[in-house]
Amino acid sequence: MKKNRSKYLLIVVVVLVICICIVVPKLILLKADKSFKNGDVETSKVLYRKYVNIVPFSSHKAKALFRLADNIAPEDSTFAKMEFYSTGETSWTGTLTIKQVNDAAKYYEEIYNNYSESEYYKKAYKRLLEIYTITSDYEKGRELINAQINSKDSDIRIVAEKYNILYLIFNGEYDKAENIAKSILNERNDYEIYLMLGDMEISRGNFEKAEEYYKNGENDNLYKSYTEMYYKHYNLFGNVRGKSLAQRASELYNGNSEIKGNVTLNGKPVPNAVVYIVDRDWGKRIKGIFPIRSCPPYDGICVRTNLKGEFSVKKLHEGEYITILSLPVLKFSQNKTVLSKNTLNRRIKLKNNESVEYDFSFVEPLNVVEPKNRVDVTGGKVHIKWEKVKGAAYYRINTIEYCDPFELKGSSVFSPITDKIRDIEYDIDIDDFKFKKPGGSFSDNDGLMNVQAYLGIVIPGAYIPLTVSAYDSNDNIITSSLPIQADKDDMILIAIKGKLTEGDKLIIDKKPEEALKYYEEYIKKNPNDVHALMVLSRLYYNGTKVIFGENKKERCENKDVHKAVEIAKRAYELTGNAEYLKETLNAVAFDSNNKNDYKWVIEEMLKLPKSELTYTEYENLGRMYLKLGKIKEADKYYDKFDDLSEHYFIRSILLKIYFEDFDRAFEMAQSNKFKFWNRNKYEFVQNIKKLNKIDKSSESYKVFRTLVKSILIQENGYKEKYNNEISKIKIGVLNSIMKEIAEDYNIE
């Protein structure tokens, strides 16, 4: 009996072992495959991870490892780029982190090391080369290349050969790369190699030779290899139209000047970075051209940095050029860094037979000494201190307003909240924030605003993220405490303590219309509650819901700016703090296109004590008077603005030009206070200097002055008027000034 029981137990154990070791993993794999095919990435990721963790080795494990790795770090996402434009703007796609990529790489490495017979072996090899190249781990990349460069498997050898050529090109070993490529082409035609050689010759300025390579590549463009995904991103033109593009380049780029430079990240060279050199005069020289590379709003040519981080573009004409830098997003997950914009205006004025050096320098973030990350407050002051930055003339503290201030997610707005700080410490008054208008308002697909639009930025349970930036004497950012790819640990987080009102909760629950009714009733019983007054004012200013109509025109339900201002005035009377009232009036002045609103806002602003009027109010008063066509009044308030502001706006200079005070216009234009971003400031200033010698009775001058007024007051059809009248200005100085003005006003 005991023997039978033992046999029974043994059978049960065996069955359980079989289930655990074979059946369960198989079921997990089947479910994972099904989720993968259905596009359920998260579920398949969890299941594949379970499978690879419980199965030591199987014929299916390579597939599970590969799919798990691809789910963690999708191939397309690995190639996501971040571009830094001449205007100081950035754009990027994807949020993949280096941790995710390294996690995926471990699984690819396991396939490469243990599953050489699997169909996923070659794919894993190719993905590893992509990852090592993008993350600049060239030693590992070179090891992989050398390991397979003589492989008997032609597919994997082709991948190794092509990456070998790419690495040689990155290192500037063009002749060696060309010799290896030609030896391969003697054995077989391969359009990708032709394109690599074409791009290489473009970088060298040999456009005729590039055209020949592209032509050969077009004749053999059916072959697809394992480097296709990487090469799609490597290819400077992104397609096989290189022949015609190179032909046009040879017509355009036959000058004798050069732009060269370095790209560094925290003191180290950045290889394989793409630099666009955009010729602003290209379209003026040859009309109807087919652009080599679209770099809005102009066209240009692209080169890559070598392993020393160096780039060079030769055969350039005399003229103006804009630079754009493109780097993998992963670089900024690997490194905490900030782009130091010591030359924010990235326009290069190139002369004949001139070589200009232009560098892109990413530097380590500014170090905040205190507070470290998070501080909990209900109000009062927060002391902020940071380390001194070499070369800094001043600092600013900024806030980042996220669409979701509780989880710090969604769209965000970056706003300076202090004037220039000369010291390395500052006390932020949280109570003052309660009177500040949020830096931005967002509406979701349902037309509902973010909570800050109504509650401001001081919300119990939410965060106010702060950063510190250092600037040089020319107002360029040297560095910031906020790295390019940041997380919560990189910010000063002011955590607001306190209780939410029932009305606040309705807003957070996306019920602004109910909140409006709540606060209307609440104010009747509590007329002196400042918080309630300000929330109600914001509800009326923003409306409770954005309604999108035809042609993307929108209106807001329950929006009433007059009620918003009247309620803001009551809050001002109770507190003596005019900040929120002023910001509401300034917002109406900026947002409205209604002349009656301008008259009303002007009247309300001028009721305030003069001591309350800052450069912001004076600028808005001047701008509203311009919209009303009252140029003399506008000039008076722009003078007050100019006396108080750190900067001169072009409107102030145009007003002086219109009133023929050319000496003052010249004085203002050449001042460091005037930042003519992405325009030719030197030429603009020199032409203003010549205005005193212009014949004021000439037809050209009369047209010029008429256009200046038209643009200043932005009368109906002023853009069409400019385009119709500009050809009548025959005097070069006037024509040049007007064209710079038109570019600044986005007329041309």
Do 255-362 and 368-499 agree at the fold level? yes
* Cα 705 from Cα 235, distance rounded (Å): 49
Percent of the chain with pLDDT over 90: 46
Residue 553 has pLDDT above 80, yes or no: no
pLDDT tens digits for range 233-282: 333 333 334 445 555 566 667 788 999 999 999 999 998 888 888 776 55
Please compute, for residue 563, the number of CA atoms within 13 A of its CA located in the half-sphere on the CB side.
15
Q: What is the pLDDT of residue 297?
A: 38
pLDDT recorded at residue 682:
80
- Where residue 412 falls among pLDDT bands split at 50, 70, 90? confident
Distance (Å) of CA 723 to CA 651, 707, 718, 735: 20, 10, 9, 12
**Which residues 6+ apart lie within 8 Å of 263 measured at CB?**
269, 270, 273, 275, 305, 309, 311, 325, 327, 359, 360, 362
User: What are the domain boundaries of the chain?
Assistant: 2-76, 255-362, 368-499, 647-748
Q: What is the pLDDT of residue 288?
A: 33
Rounded to the nearest 10°, the torsion over CA 146, 148, 149, 154 is -170
How far from 679 is each of 324, 345, 722, CA to CA, in Å? 16, 9, 18
Distance of CA 192 to the CA centre of its chain: 31
> Residue 406: which pLDDT band, with cuts at 50, 70 and 90?
very high
Largest CA distance in the chain: 125
The yes-or-no verdict on residue 552 having pLDDT over 60 is no
Measure the CA–CA gap between 304 and 567, rounded to whole angstroms: 58
- Flag whether the pTM goes above 0.75: yes
What's the pLDDT score for residue 13?
54
C-alpha–C-alpha distance, residues 382 and 376, integer Å: 10
Q: What pLDDT is stored for residue 624 in this prediction?
A: 96
Q: What pLDDT score was predicted for residue 91?
A: 66
Q: Where are the alpha helices (DSSP H) in 115-153?
A: 120-134, 138-148
**Chain length of the chain:** 748
Those residues with Cβ within 8 angstroms of residue 234's Cβ, 6 or more apart along the chain or in another chain: 166, 196, 199
pLDDT above 70: residue 117? yes
Confidence of residue 12 (pLDDT cuts 50, 70, 90): low
How many CB atoms neighbour CB 153 within 10 A? 14
Question: What tokens appear for 516 in the block?
Answer: 């409006």
Cis peptide before 371 (omega within 30 of 0): yes
Supply the mean pLDDT for the chain.
Answer: 83
Residue 464 has a pLDDT of: 92
367 secondary structure, DSSP code: P
Lowest-pLDDT choice from 226-235, 634-643, 657-666: 226-235
CA separation for the pair 685, 673 (Å, rounded): 13
Q: d(Cα 506, Cα 154) in Å, to the nearest integer?
A: 66
pLDDT at 93: 62
Q: What are phi and psi of 637, to 5 degrees?
A: -80, -30
Q: Smallest Cα–Cα separation from 523: which of 515, 508, 435?
A: 515
- pLDDT 10s digits, 692-709: 999 999 999 999 999 999
Task: Average the pLDDT over each of 377-391, 396-410, 668-682 and give the range with the smallest value.
Answer: 668-682
How far is 679 from 664, CA to CA, in rounded Å? Answer: 20
pLDDT at 281: 59
Where does the pLDDT of residue 285 fall: very low under 50, low under 70, confident under 90, or very high at 90 and above? very low
φ/ψ (deg, to 5) at 385: -135, 145
Distance, CA of 560 to CA of 248 (rounded, Å): 57
CATH number of 368-499: 2.60.40.10
What mean pLDDT do residues 278-307 have? 53
CA-CA-CA-CA torsion sign (110, 111, 116, 118)? positive
Residue-wise pLDDT tens digits, 460-515: 999 999 999 999 988 888 999 999 888 888 899 999 999 999 999 999 999 999 99
CA proximity to 687, closest of 735, 748, 743? 735
**pLDDT tens track for 299-319:** 567 778 888 899 888 888 888
* Inter-residue contact 234 to 166 (CB < 8 Å): yes
The answer on pLDDT for 286 being more than 50 is: no
Phi, psi dihedrals of residue 240, rounded to the nearest 5°: -105, 30
CATH H-level superfamily of 255-362: Immunoglobulins (2.60.40.10)
